[in-house]
Structure 1
Amino acid sequence: MSSPRNDRLIHWLLGSLELESTLFHLGQYCGSWKTSTSGLARAGFHVVLHGECWLHLPQEGVSHPLQSGDAVIFLRDVVHYLSPLADPLAAAQAPRRSMAPVDTSLPGSVALACGFFSFRSQLNRVFLGSFPDYVVISRSGEKLSETRPLFDLILTEAQAGGEEPSPLISRLVDLLFFYAIRHLCQRREVSDGLWALLARPEFAPLLEAIIADPGRDWTVQTMAELAHMSRATFFKRFAQACGASPSHLLLQIRMRVASQLIEEGLSLSRTAEKVGYQSDAAFSRAFKKSTGVLPGAYRRAQQQRQLQAA
């Protein structure tokens, strides 16, 4: 996973997620309490800035101890709650309290940064694949040790004070998310989708070639030859690794590239040609099939978003 080829593919895939992190609340608790971001059908996160608490997952019957510098990232909505109480039943009955400003000098306090992840792209089920529901990042553990400076920066920003939380916290959490995704892929803890293919060396060159030249006439035979397999073997192994047919994944990559080209201001006709469509009508049908909207509507939405951000 550390080859230059895979690094390029990782960066492209991470960029395709169009991640946006939102800080829901930042502060600290004292005494008996519980908190959660579940129940809103959104991915989320908790970063322990100070103190110790427990992550309880009642539907799994699992509890994880958390301490300063630990984090939990939920890739989908999972029933959970955090509490200083180790006993799950006692923790479930603990009250929900309002957060106080971060003050790490108070004994027994637990400071948290909690929020949500959202993805602007419509292609994320294919791009994310079947990742685990959540990942716990331990500051004292060996895995994801490269993220430790991020926790220090998040705490520094949290302690900076002010009426509004620092916007840098959300950006730092973005980085934390990307490291976690890459870690899961490297450990092959994703069962299908583009990331699963990336973990298979026989398919990485093919992915790079398709991304670099999506407008090429990519038949299954062409793909099989590039992967140095017979057509039948290629189709079987590809479907087993990816969970989708080669033509379906080709469509998703083409439409992701098309989305990026539209955002860059390329005309719809030229975009269609770049991703392998000679007919604007055929391109529009394919784009809507993948994203749920027509390319013209997508372009107008992007232009409106840019105006609002200006």
Structure 2
Amino acid sequence: MDVLSDVIASIRIGRPRSSHITWHAPWAQSFPSAPGSAGFQVILQGSCWLIPDDGEPIPLSVGDVVFFPHGHGCVMADSPSTPVPQIDCDPGEEAALFGSASMAGPGAATVTLCGGYRLDDGRTHPILRDLPDMIHLPARLGHHQELRAAIDLLAAEIANPRLGADTVVASLLDMLLLFILRAYINAEPERCTVSGWSAALADPGISAALDAVHRDPAHPWTVQSLADLAGLSRAAFSRRFSVLVGQPPLGYLTWWRLAIAARLLRSTDAPLSEVATRVGYGSEFAFANAFKREHGLAPGRFRRESCPLVVGVGERVATLS
């Protein structure tokens, strides 16, 4: 898998949720902060205002996308002067995967598509930690066409669910998150030239090395072999990788291998020996030691506490727990 695909697979837990909501003026709605989650708002029809916890109100129009990577709260309203109800309630909160609602009123209609993702708070990928509290992607003719297509498909499926809707909506929500991240990274090239993950993914050499690590994490990578892929000397590659990614090449490789291992332990019943092999460790003992250093728990105990119903076949609890 490439880097962004891996990030999507690793950061989300459980099922996302979404709602198609028609608001009639006057209206105002508070969306409270939700640590351990990420959320989005898309304007499908009409216009409204987004009033962040900090800062000035932001006018939103058809096609605008707002993404909150860290679960920050906000208020949305037909006008900044409309009183906000005291009850902090997300109208889409009750829907397990998707739903529709209409808020009755005498005025003009605004239609929004909102949704949220539960994140693995303990293993957040650094690409997400690098993002600002709010990302606003204004609608611009000819820009982010794949994002617009995903929004149209998702809105249509929620408004008129058909056979297979659960699978379609869940897949489109993941696709929407991917396109939001891609649009943000590509939106302002000048922002991607200094530091951080945007810069790392925009740098051809560092991006090639990251892509190789994510496509084959079990490969016995060395700094030199990754530098060769990047087309840089070993010293130059190591220095640039550390500046952009925030840790040395082999440090990131180890972190990512053990993040994958945690995901496998939570979601599969693969024996520890298989998990160790899949993430590049030659022995269960070496894997268990590295895993405990990173996660603070032996892999067997981590699996039992994360998902008590999943028990690895042939798992040697006595020696590895």
Which TM-score band applies after superposition, normalised by the shorter structure? 0.7 to 0.9
AA aligned to 2:175 is L
- 2:23 is matched with 29
Contact 2:217–2:279 under 8 Å retained in 1 = yes
Structure 2 match to 1:200 = 203
1:220-267 deviations in Å (ceiling 9; x for gaps): 344334434333322221111111222321112212343455545432
Q: Which amino acid aligns with 1:125?
A: H
> Which sections of structure 1, spanning at least 5 residues, go unmatched?
1-6
Q: Which of these residues, 252, 258, 261, is aligned with residue 261 of structure 2?
A: 258
Q: Which among 40, 44, 52 is matched to residue 45 of structure 1?
A: 40
* Counterpart in the other structure of 1:54: 49
Tell me: CA distance 1:104–1:112, structure 2 relative to 1, closer, same or farther (3 Å): farther
SS of 2:17's equivalent in the other structure is strand
- Per-residue deviation at 1:37? 2.4
Residue by residue over 1:75-97, the C-alpha shift from the partner in whole angstroms, topping out at 9 and shown as x without a partner, is 11334211110x4xx24x43358
Unaligned runs of 5+ in 2: 92-99, 312-321
The alignment status of 1:237 with 2:240, answered yes or no, reads: yes
Q: CA RMSD in A?
A: 3.7
Q: Deviations over 1:174-211 (max 9, x none)?
A: 32211011122334556424x64332111233223333
The answer to whether the aligner puts 1:267 opposite 2:248 as a matched pair is no
Q: In the superposition, relative to structure 1, how do residues 170 and 211 fare at CA in structure 2: closer, same or farther (>3 Å)?
A: closer
Residue 102 of structure 2: aligned partner: 102
Match of 1:174 in 2: 174
d(CA) in 1 for partners of 2:69, 2:151? 19
Matched, 1:224 2:227: yes
Q: Distance in 2 between matches of 1:152 and 1:158?
A: 10
Question: Following TM superposition, by how much is the alpha carbon of 1:105 offset from its aligned partner in structure 2, in angstroms?
Answer: 11
CA contact (8 A) 2:38 2:117 kept: yes
User: How many aligned positions are there?
Assistant: 291
The answer to whether structure 1 residue 296 and structure 2 residue 300 are counterparts is: yes
Deviations 1:102-160 (A, max 9, x none): 38997512233333222248432324341232222444444322222333333334434
2:71 counterpart of 1:77: yes
Q: How many Å separate the matches in 2 of 1:21 and 1:140? A: 30
Letter in 1 for 2:59: P
Do the aligned partners of 2:65 and 2:137 also contact (CA within 8 Å) in 1? yes
- Identical-pair percentage: 27
Query: Please, what TM-score do these two structures have when normalized by structure 1?
Result: 0.75
Q: TM-score, normalised by structure 2?
A: 0.73
